[in-house]
Homo-oligomer: A and B are copies of this chain.
Amino acid sequence: MTRQRNDDKRKQQIRSAALRCLVRRGYAATTLREIAKEAGLSKGGIYFYYQAKQQLFDEIMETQFEALHERWAFDPMGDEPADRTLARLVLLHVGAMEGAPDEARLCSFLVSMAPQHSAFRAKLEALSSVLRSVYAGVIERGMRDRLFAPGDPEEQATMVVCMVYGLACLAATDPRGRLPLSPEELAENAVRMLRAKAPVDHSSRTLRMTN
């Protein structure tokens, strides 16, 4: 039992060390030696827990995906104004990035790995899809309650997800990982977009013709 406990703890420690290296330097550029050093043990030690770099990576991703699922697939309470709920969701999703540069880098790391492994990409898409449907649910409620302007909830949800991912990109770009916008500001603007009346039709049609 204690053994099991210790094993898990050590594996967790290795995973977190490896994750730190991965988000900073990418998968291919990260060497086992770096991970070992970061984890405070030797290459052989790592090999005792993980038979291969790829397997370590897979397990890390598994863990991260699970964690994100759990964190993101949050069931919003129904007895709250939809705009409040949506703002809280945004804060929840973006808040973790504040003060934790690696959190934002993780996001952009996930995106950058997507083109390479199809299995990986599938998982990431599933995750995005969950995020999107959570938003879509709240937005739909908001539209029903006349808190949000009428429109396609799916499309609007995609917009919000864009904002969240985009913020992660900008944070990953910053040397210290700071957000260019506070989570609250992002939330406000998202709500603002949703509240707004839909633009007049001809504007978009004109646009297309112009381009």
Q: Of the candidates B28, B185, B193, which one forms a contact with A196 in the assembled complex, judged by CB atoms under 8 Å apart?
A: B193
Nearest 7 A-B pairs (CB), nearest first? A162-B166, A166-B166, A112-B112, A196-B196, A193-B193, A28-B28, A28-B29
Chain B residues whose CB sits within 8 angstroms of the CB of A169 once the complex forms: 108, 111, 162, 165-166, 168-169
A124, B180: Cα distance in complex, Å: 14
Give A residues with C-beta under 8 Å from B.
Answer: 23-29, 83-84, 87-88, 91, 95, 105, 108-109, 111-112, 114-116, 118, 121, 124-125, 128, 149, 155-156, 158-159, 161-170, 172-175, 180-181, 184-189, 191-193, 195-199, 203-204, 206-208, 210-211
Q: Oligomeric state, in number of copies?
A: 4
Whether A111 contacts B114 in the complex (CB less than 8 A), given A91-B211, A158-B170, A207-B187, comes out as: no
Residue contact B162 to A87, C-beta cutoff 8 Å: no
A109, B199: Cα distance in complex, Å: 34
A168, B161: Cα distance in complex, Å: 12
A166, B132: Cα distance in complex, Å: 13
Residue contact A204 to B181, C-beta cutoff 8 Å: no
A196, B180: Cα distance in complex, Å: 22
Residue contact B29 to A121, C-beta cutoff 8 Å: no
Whether A159 contacts B155 in the complex (CB less than 8 A), given A28-B26, A116-B29, A188-B204, comes out as: no
Q: Of the candidates B95, B108, B159, B210, which one forms a contact with A163 in the assembled complex, judged by CB atoms under 8 Å apart?
A: B159
